[in-house]
Structure 1
Amino acid sequence: MKTGKISLLKVSFSVSLLSAAIIAFQLSLIQILSIIQWHHFAYMVISIALLGFGAAGTVLSLAKKFFIEKAELILPGLMTLSGLAMALSVSVAQTEALRFDSYLLFADYSHLWKLLTTYLLFFIPFFLGALAIGIIFIKYIDRIGVLYFANMVGSGLGGVAAVILMWIFFPEKLPAVIGTMALAAGVIIVPREQRNSFTFIVAITVAVLVFMYMTPAKLQLSEYKSLSKTLNLPDSKIILKESSPYGLIDIVSTPYLRYAPGLSIKYPGAVSVENAAFNNGDWIGPLISSKSDLLNYLFSTTESLPYVTAERKSVLILGAGTGRQVMTALLNNAESITSVEQNKALTNLLEVKLASKVDYILKDKSVRPQNISPRTFILSTKQKFDLIMLPVIDSFGGSSGMYSLQEQYLLTTESFNEMLNALNRNGVVCISTYIDYPYRNPIKILATFAEVFEKREIENPEKYIAAIKNWNTITFLIKKDPFNSVEMDSIRNFCERMNFDPVILFDITDSERERYNKLQDTSLYSMLDKILQSKDEREKLYSEYPFNIKPASDNQPYFSQFLQWNTIPLLADLFGNQSVPFFEVGYLLLYLTFIQIMVLAILFIITPLFKIGFRGRDKLRTLLYFSGLGLGYMFTEIILIQRFTLYFGNIIYAAALVVCLMLVSSGFGSLVSQMITPKPYRIILIVSMIIISFFIYSLFLSGWLKTTIGFSLTAKIILSFLWITPPAFFMGMPFPLGLKLVSFSNDSQIPWAWGINGVFSVVSAVLATIIAVELGFVWVMAFAIGAYLIVIASNLKRT
């Protein structure tokens, strides 16, 4: 079948390839920003991509006739330019004049403009690609179902392609590689009579992409990231790099790095770290080898506490990293050690290329490595352990709130309850945290334990908790049964030998807490006591303390989110106006991004549409219908990614699977919608099916996922297909049906329909994150249901 001068097959394939390139570029940008800045810019990238689509729709509405008449000439050029912009935008954004730093946004306001410029740079390739897709949609509106199907399928496969490419290419090379996909999409639809003239353009574009691939711009990390600080030390250098969907791993050789959390002040030797690992510029851990380090210091840290209270034969290390805690378990004669580390690329390095630098610990017959998220392992294991060790909370010196938007499922009340269930009768859970100031982490982790024991209907939780400290670290132990007198004596003797101080013991005295390591502000002890005293005292502390110290839950898994809007003035008085942003840079950036994206969306999408006017009947219905679709779809996608992250134990694969299944299924729904005559009552029926599926999700999905979490990967993929595809199939129908319905009744409102959907899709990614942080993921699902109810309401009067 022909569509103008180009066959429908070629047009569909071109749309699929371009859509795949756009999604792959979006994911590569998320990874690049995670490296040079911090992980939480993902929602910004999603919003920028959607902004490009919304703005493209607006431009189309203003020059619809021109683009349709010149489509065959313009389309190849737009796709080619989109590919070029993918490669060039990253390089330009890395120049000194435009590179922003998250930490400096609230200290040096020039970085706000740099951030805005970065938005616009990354906006360009999405806008050009979306404009090409939009021209095709409008020119071939009678085949919109087929083309929307091609768009959705291509987008879904693009997510899978991005994951594969991340294993093969370093992040700085990815934009050029992905740009060739957009170029190929353009080449496919070059009309025969234009091929000779277009050959020169293709040759130039290929040359530029090859050059960008061979000599990519160096990714300039924020000077405040751990890797940047380490490389500032004399004689420090990167000796190995490894790229994967888990991030960019850097192995650094340095003679001056020291790392020993919880070390005793009595330890006489030096603790040198010759090699250390970083992921996306963030600290993972030291590479410890008995050939290069004196390992006696591992017996002189607060993390040795669980080994002095009892023999630990079966040990579970969650978030094992480079294996420091695995080495400690081996030195303490553990017979069975389960090492759980989510980053498969890191595990592969430690087993092969770096094995000699860590004494081949993962090859030890006592060690069983597991590549899965720690929380998923806890949910799925049937094994019982004498000790469960968690990684140290926060980085030394604090992270200035950069992790405030990180979903930390390992530190929720549900997680610790599951850990207690996985212990043998005398087993313990051990976790350490740096003593930050103002006090946040030690208080919040203890509040978490108190809430866990309350849910287990255990009175006097102080009998089940023990804690000790050195000068900058607190180590906690929790048990299913009370600590007995023998264990408490062992703890006190260990503190005496190592000059540690008990912080929490059932019969502790005030003088014990400050014997060797004095705190400048001793209010920490009174707050810890209030948490354990009673629920009323705990709740009173929650409401009075300037920071959010309520425990994290699976519904709100943001353990490191401490800032509260109502206490910002108080914090400003206590610490100064310029200090407040550094408590929670990530949290404030979320709202800054929301404001900037909202302004850009209105400026680029809605404002230009006033030139053509919002005319005709049913304007309110058009607004409600397409805004509801924009919000509902994105909210649903985000909530499903959250649910399936725990299920698969890996956010990258969970996101790729959810996005792929949703987009492909929605594509099939769009294809089927081509055969449906758009009628309001039919749209109401379809949207009702979507809402019913959401209610089923709300009631049963969590239970289904927990019941089947121990199944094989193949079985879980099949089950995910069965759970995700039915509602996603129906979710692909309302948009093309709505466009058809508007075109029948009021053709002039089509640009507004596109623009309205674009604006609400743009803000929904950031808005969903705000709702999840402030209210929880349950409310994100509730708002998704509400959005689709608005879609139904907009069709009731028409019916």
Structure 2
Amino acid sequence: MTQIRLGRDGDLNPEGVRAAPHRPLKDDMNDASKLAAADILDAETQFDAEPVPGSRLGLYFAVGLGAGAVIALQIDVMRVFSVGSWAHFGSLVVSLAMLGFGLASATMTVAKDWFARRWRGAATFSLALFGPLAVGANLYVQHLGFNAIFLVSDPAQKWKLLQIFLAELTPFLAGAFFLGCVFLRSNRTFGRVYFADLAGAGLCGLVVLLAMYVFTPANLIVAPLALWFAACLAWTFGPGGRVMLVPFVAAGVVAFAGHFVAPQMFGLKTLAVNDYKGVAYARKFPDAKKVYESASPFGFLEAYSSSYLHFAPGLSDNAGFTLPTMPVNAYLGLYIDGDGPIGIMRDLTDKETAYFHFLPMVYPYVIKSAPKTFIVQFGGGISTEVALHSGAKDVTVAEGNRAVLEAFHDDVIRNFTGDILSKVHVIGYEGRHFLAQTSERFDVIDLSLADSVGLSNPGGFAIVEKFSYTKEAMETYMRALAPGGVLSVTLWNKEEPPKSVLKLYATMATAAREVDPAQMANSFFVASSYLSTATVLYKNGGFTPDEIEKLRAHTRAMSFDEIYSPGFFYDSSQTDSTLAGYVEQIFAGAAGGPPAAEPSEVADANAPGGQDADAPPSGKPDDGVLPATVMGRLAWHALVAGQWPQIADRYVFNTRALTNDAPYFAAYVKTADLPRVLDRLELLQDEWGYLLIWATLGVACLTATVLLVIPLIWGWRTIFSRSRGKLLTVVYFACLGAGYIMVEVGLIAHFVMALGNPTISASVLITGMLVFSGLGALTSERALPHMRTVMPVLFVAVAALLILYGLFLGRALDAIGAIPYAARLLCSFLLIAPPAYLMGFPMPVAMTTLGRLGKDHMFVWAWGVNGCFSVIGAAAAPVIATNFGLAAVIEVAGLAYLLAIPAFYGVIARDRVQGPEQVEARA
């Protein structure tokens, strides 16, 4: 049994060290204010009994660096999975591994007295284990040979995924015990230690960002290891004592040798690349040669040359028997984080340039002579090559990924392409931001195969934002056209049933209706090739009959399928059978069965009479037209007629338009259909990124519930039955945990629009949020004497800011996207600062109050509640974003902070057994 006495004559801390006596208190102060004011006076006495001078400073540095090592390890795990497997599995593993904080909390709540007596030894031991466990977990995971492709068909892969989770859990568990022991020891000066935790983690995020320029993903673990070892050294100058220097050095040798020496000695891999990643194929070609490599926050880039590399993006089948000279060894394969290839075309000879005529990107040049061209995303440069060899008089290219531009300045790639960048004007940021700010107008604007292979599957096996394709972006492109100018968008169309391409159609049609509704029906020409690409042309002012005939003639010559043109005839009698056929194809035999076919509500906009002999086929089955082509024609017929919502409701997948608020090609399975696809996941491999966020949310909720209930069951009679405000305490810390992480995740996704890269966005947001919140935590002690009045006002201010950010942040980010990059970073930090600073108050104020009320068990448990709901919030954020939009994520977080207002008064309630001078806690 441990007794903790709180009185005006002095404190006994958990180790029996008497603190300095309190000064007399004013009688007119309320109880909470008395308690806060009294205990602020002994804030400096918490570590007076430490044997080493300056121990508090050493402890603060150890906490900051240790928390930074945990953050760095999260980034490292996600980067390793991004390159070696697929990014969303890294997010899944990290999310669940962070439940180690909940497990640590549950353990420490049950055994609080043991940890209170032995906090120094437990913290030291946990800190020493972090580095070796991180290295061991990585080596074990790479050895398993997990292959996500066979996750459904091979039960062994599920077991391997569980092993990955358990292995990666161990270092996070060690980090959680270290921080938990320090927090328990510092429960009455929590704000200061929490500042060290947040600010240290945030600043260390920048260290990892810089490390990405130095280390490849295979060696990026050096960053968390270096931060961990620095934390160990700081700990020896603090509570750990110099006696721990030798054990820590030994642990450091084990960790670094385990990563750099053991793999060479025992043939282990530090990063195993999945056999189904694009770069894995390139490496196995007999004559494969790596010609370029670079590592940065913008991605790990590798370029390979091989005679086996063929990249024909939408090339007409007619090219093979029409071209007199087919280019040989025409491409290098560029891979970003193992995905690709992005084709880099060599400088073709005059005899070979006829090749460009058979690519779909040539469409706008069929009707435009010597145009002024803008390429929205340079990528591998194929659209730029097409423009240069199709008579464009002036070409401007934009590329938001600086690493790609640097690759094209490398000698090998520059010589291979004939120094293509020297022939064009280069904009070193996102094309949509340039077009939104410039007064220039262009005859051709091209957005072709941006992200290359990434959109051959919806979302590229991950939930990522595609701001270049949103409705707002399309409106920007359309308004940047000169009179008679053409916007050309080419997208991979390798899906059956169609998914991404229908979202593109809906997005462009919605944008055109905003820009020029009167000319919408005459402004589009659409062509596709089956399981290859689809090209959508939009002309400012509408196509003339002569232009339509030229485009149709080119489509027939290339053997492409015409999907839509002004005056296009569509036989609406096919609608019901087409929609019902796709439902049957996906859901036949599923629980609940496919919905019954309903009569089409879309009336034929054309007279049901005869069809023009020169018009494209109607798409009837006896025309030999494939269902995907029929579906494309049905989509455009309904979009132009303004009747797409009725068709979209009946279509088998979600086909809503992309917006800045919901910029996702992924998430095509409708939420209501999720139960019906669980037994047919092999049909939906390209949607696993979306399905896994639901799985992560479910597992996180289940596991968090177990971890939160364990302490209740174990200690109900001795701990919780006497504690007032238990339910409200859970609600309070759940709101803080879920609300904070949802703001962080939501803002990371938002800021991609301005910063152009998810890794940069994550680094900036994590650093800004944690550092500014840390400053809020540091100053939170000033709010303690007046917390009953200050905290409700603060919560309202946070909620108001977040709701305003949800409504207007997108416009601000769009506006700053074209300014110099350093200025964008500064603006981003300034936007983060106000809410982040205020969000730094609630956690330390509540935790310090619990500590000073003597609710030590509740203190540790509340920390676990916060951690568990942080995991739940991180999993819920993408679910909310894909279903309701990014703004909804931030707005829901704002509502969570409002809900915390009434719950706060449960946190500061005194226990029933607490007298005016004493709190007794029994374990």
Question: CA 1:27 to 1:383, structure 2 compared with 1: closer, same or farther past 3 Å?
Answer: farther
> Of 313, 317, 331, which residue of structure 1 is paired with 2:371?
313
> In 2, Cα distance between the equivalents of 1:455 and 1:221?
45
User: 2:782 aligns to what SS in structure 1?
Assistant: coil
Aligned to 1:72, which of 104, 120, 134? 120
Query: How big is the shift at 1:767?
Result: 0.5
Q: Deviations over 1:646-691 (max 9, x none)?
A: 1222322222222111111111111111333263332212212212
Give the counterpart of 2:535 among 475, 482, 486: 475
What CA distance in whole angstroms lies between the structure 1 residues aligned with 2:460 and 2:498?
17
3-state DSSP class of the match of 1:240? strand
Q: Residue 581 of structure 1 contacts residue 588 of structure 1 at CA under 8 Å; is this kept in 2?
A: no
2:260 aligned partner, one-letter code:
Y
Match of 1:534 in 2: 641
Are 1:649 and 2:756 matched, yes or no?
Answer: yes
2:564 is matched with which residue: 504, 507, 513?
Answer: 504
466-475 vs 132-141, greater mean Cα deviation: 466-475
Distance 1:496 1:769, change over 3 A: closer
State yes or no: 1:349 paired with 2:407.
Answer: yes
Q: After TM superposition, list the pairs within 5 Å mapping 1:290-689 onto structure 2.
A: 290=347, 294-364=352-422, 366-392=423-449, 395=453, 398-399=456-457, 402-403=460-461, 405-435=463-493, 436-456=495-515, 458-459=517-518, 461-471=520-530, 472-508=532-568, 513=616, 519-521=625-627, 522-536=629-643, 538-567=644-673, 577-613=680-716, 614-615=720-721, 616-677=723-784, 679-689=787-797
Q: Determine what percentage of the aligned residue pairs are the same residue.
A: 26
Is 1:635–1:765's contact at 8 Å kept on the other side of the alignment? yes
Q: Mean alpha-carbon deviation: is it higher for 503-512 or for 758-767?
A: 503-512
1:212 to 2:271 alignment: no
Given residue 599 of structure 1, which amino acid in structure 2 is its aligned partner? L
Range 641-650 or range 43-52, more displaced: 43-52
- 1:95 to 1:708, Cα distance in 2 relative to 1, 3 A: closer
Report how far residue 730 of structure 1 moved. 1.4
Paired letter, 1:261: P
Using the TM superposition, name which of 557-566 and 711-720 deviates more: 711-720
Check the 8 A contact 1:404/1:559 in 2, yes or no. no
Displacement after TM superposition at 1:75 (Å) = 2.9
Q: Conserved in 2, the CA contact under 8 Å of 1:501 and 1:515?
A: no
CA distance in 1, matches of 2:138, 2:776: 35
User: Does structure 1 conserve the Cα–Cα contact (< 8 Å) formed by 2:131 and 2:255?
Assistant: no
TM superposition shift of 1:535: 1.6
Letter of the structure 2 residue corresponding to residue 180 of structure 1: A
Secondary structure, aligned partner of 1:503: strand
Could you tell me which amino acid in structure 2 is paired with residue 474 of structure 1? A
SS at match of 1:206: helix
- The aligned counterpart of 2:19 is none
Pick closer, same or farther for the CA change 1:742–1:70 going to 2, 3 Å.
Answer: closer
Unpaired stretches in structure 2, ≥5 consecutive residues: 1-43, 570-610, 910-923
Partners of 1:78 and 1:129 within 8 A in 2: yes
- How do 1:778-793 and structure 2 match up within 5 A? 778-793=887-902
TM-aligned CA deviation for residue 274 of structure 1: 4.6
Query: 3-state SS of the aligned residue for 1:153?
Result: helix
Shift of 1:737: 0.8
The alpha carbon displacement at 1:116 in A equals 2.1
**Counterpart-to-counterpart distance in 2, 1:392 and 1:274:** 16
Q: Is the 8 A contact 1:22 1:158 kept in 2?
A: no
Question: If the length of structure 2 is used for normalisation, what is the TM-score?
Answer: 0.80
Partner of 1:53: 101
Does 1:241 find its partner at 2:344?
Answer: no
Please give the root-mean-square deviation of Cα atoms over the aligned residues, in Å. Answer: 2.9
Note closer, same or farther for the CA distance 1:255–1:605 as it changes in structure 2 (3 Å cut).
Answer: farther
**Per-residue CA distance 1:387-407 (angstroms, 9 max, x = gap):** 221132774994376446221
- For the pair 1:180 / 2:226, whether they are aligned, the reply is yes
Q: Distance in 2 between matches of 1:535 and 1:165?
A: 52
When residues 111 and 400 of structure 1 are mapped into structure 2, their CA distance, relative to the original with a 3 A threshold, is farther
Secondary structure at the aligned position of 2:799 is classed as: helix
Question: Residues 459 and 665 of structure 2 are in contact (CA less than 8 Å); yes or no, is this contact kept in structure 1?
Answer: no
CA contact (8 A) 2:97 2:165 kept: no
Q: Distance in 2 between matches of 1:756 and 1:774?
A: 26
| Corresponding position: 1:695 with 2:695 | no
Question: Where does residue 5 of structure 1 map in the other structure?
Answer: 51
Question: Which segment drifts farther, 627-636 or 65-74?
Answer: 65-74
Assess if the C-alpha contact under 8 Å between 2:208 and 2:223 holds in 1: no
How many angstroms apart in 2 are the aligned matches of 1:762 and 1:672? 27
Contact 1:464 1:480 in 2 (8 A): yes
Within the candidate set 253, 278, 286, 1:226 is matched to: 278
Work out whether residues 37 and 221 of structure 1, in 8 Å CA contact, stay in contact via their aligned partners in 2: yes
- Cα offset for 1:560? 3.2
Q: State whether residues 92 and 692 of structure 2, in contact with CA within 8 Å, keep that contact through their aligned partners in structure 1.
A: no
SS in 2 for 1:276: strand
Q: Which moved more, 1:704-713 or 1:538-547?
A: 704-713
Which of 212, 235, 238 is matched with 1:189 structurally? 235
Q: What residue identity is the alignment partner of 1:504? A: Y
For residues 763-785 of structure 1, the C-alpha deviation after alignment (integer angstroms, 9 at most, x for no partner) is 11010111111111122122111
1:376 to partner: Cα distance = 3.7
Question: Structure 2 vs 1, CA of residues 395 and 512 (structure 1 numbering), >3 Å: closer, same or farther?
Answer: farther
Match of 2:865 in 1: 756
The Cα of 1:243 is off from its aligned counterpart by: 1.4
* Length-normalised TM-score, structure 1: 0.92
Kept after mapping to 1: 8 A contact 2:803/2:890: no
Q: Is the 8 A contact 2:444 2:481 kept in 1?
A: yes
Deviations 1:267-301 (A, max 9, x none): 23445445211111111422211368934311222
| Alignment partner of 1:82 out of 112, 124, 130 | 130
**Residue type of the partner of 1:305?**
Y
CA contact (8 A) 1:326 1:361 kept: no
Q: What is aligned with 1:102?
A: 148
Q: CA deviation at 1:432?
A: 1.7
Report the residue type matching 1:528 in the other structure.
Answer: A
Q: 1:712 and 1:381 mapped to 2: Cα distance?
A: 14
CA contact (8 A) 1:238 1:252 kept: yes
How far 1:228 sits from its partner (Å)?
2.5
CA distance in 2, matches of 1:35, 1:492: 43
* Count of equivalent residues: 792
Question: Take 1:429 and 1:758, find their aligned partners in 2: how far apart are those partners?
Answer: 48
| Distance (Å, rounded) in 1 between the aligned partners of 2:255 and 2:713 | 39
Alpha-carbon distance change, 381 to 55 in structure 1, aligned in 2, over 3 angstroms: farther
What is the DSSP-based 3-state SS (H/G/I as helix, E as strand, rest coil) of the residue aligned with 1:489?
helix
* Letter paired with 2:503: K
Q: Please tell me the residue identity of whatever aligns with 2:545.
A: S
Q: Does 1:149 align with 2:195?
A: yes
Distance 2:298 2:122 in 1: 38
Equivalent residues of 1:259, 1:271 under 8 A apart? no
Residue of structure 1 equivalent to 2:246: 199
